[in-house]
Structure 1
Amino acid sequence: MRKSRDLDSEPAERARLERWHDGLDRALPTRLVPRFHRHFSVVTETLKGPAGEFPAYVLTARHLEPRRTVVYLHGGGFVAPIDAFHVRYAARLARALGARVVLPDYPLAPEHTWRDSHTAVADMTGRWLTEPEPVVLAGDSAGGGYALAVAETLRDRGGPQPSHLLLHSPWGDLTTSTPETEAFAARDTWLFLGKIRVYAGWWAGSPGDLGRPEVSPALGDLDGLPPALMFCGTRDTLAPGCRLLAARAAESSWSLTYVEEPDLIHVYPLLPFLPEAERAWRRTVAFLS
Structure 2
Amino acid sequence: MKGEVGGVPSLRSRALSAALAASGGRRPLASAEAVRTRVAQSARRPASHLPPRSLGRVADVSRTFVGAWPVYDVSPPGDESAAQVLYVHGGGYVGELARPHWALVRNLVTRARARVVVPAYVLAPRGTADRTVPVAADLLSGLIASGGAGGTVLLGDGAGAGLALAAAQRLRERTGAQPSRIVLVSPWLDVTMSRPEQAEIGAPDREGLREAGRLYAGTLPPDDPRVSPLYGSFAGLAPMAVFGGSRDVLAADGRELLRRARAAGVEVEFHEARGLPHGYPLLPVPEGRAARERIVELVRSAADL
TM-score (norm 1): 0.89
1:283 to 287, 294, 304: 294
Say if 1:140 and 1:8 are closer, same or farther in 2 by CA, change over 3 A.
closer
Q: Please, which moves more after superposition, 93-102 or 141-150?
A: 93-102
Q: Is the 8 A contact 2:47 2:96 kept in 1?
A: no
Q: Is the 8 A contact 1:233 1:268 kept in 2?
A: yes
Q: Which residue in the other structure is 1:80 paired with?
A: 95
Report which of the two has the higher share of helix. 2
Q: Distance in 1 between matches of 2:179 and 2:38?
A: 37
Q: Which residue in the other structure is 2:227 paired with?
A: 215
How far 1:7 moved relative to its partner? 3.0
Q: Which amino acid aligns with 1:200?
A: G
Q: Is the 8 A contact 1:61 1:91 kept in 2?
A: no
Q: Secondary structure at the match of 2:178?
A: coil
Q: Which amino acid aligns with 1:196?
A: L
Q: Secondary structure at the match of 2:272?
A: strand
Answering whether residue 31 of structure 2 is matched by residue 7 of structure 1, we say yes
Answering whether residue 127 of structure 2 is matched by residue 112 of structure 1, we say yes
Q: Distance in 1 between matches of 2:111 and 2:188?
A: 26
Answering whether residue 165 of structure 2 is matched by residue 148 of structure 1, we say yes
Same amino acid, percent of matched pairs: 34
Say if 1:181 and 1:8 are closer, same or farther in 2 by CA, change over 3 A.
closer
Q: Distance in 2 between matches of 1:281 and 1:241?
A: 21
Unaligned runs of 5+ in 1: none
1:196 to 198, 205, 209: 209
How far 1:286 moved relative to its partner? 2.2
Q: Which residue in the other structure is 1:18 paired with?
A: 40
2:187 to 170, 182, 191: 170
Q: Distance in 1 between matches of 2:206 and 2:107?
A: 31
Q: Distance in 1 between matches of 2:237 and 2:49?
A: 33
How far 1:63 moved relative to its partner? 2.6
Count of residues paired in the alignment? 274
Give the alignment of 1:24-43 within 5 angstroms.
24-30=46-52, 35-43=54-62
Q: Distance in 2 between matches of 1:81 and 1:260?
A: 26
How far 1:104 moved relative to its partner? 0.6
Q: Distance in 1 between matches of 2:252 and 2:226?
A: 20
How far 1:288 moved relative to its partner? 2.4
TM-score (norm 2): 0.84
Say if 1:26 and 1:200 are closer, same or farther in 2 by CA, change over 3 A.
same
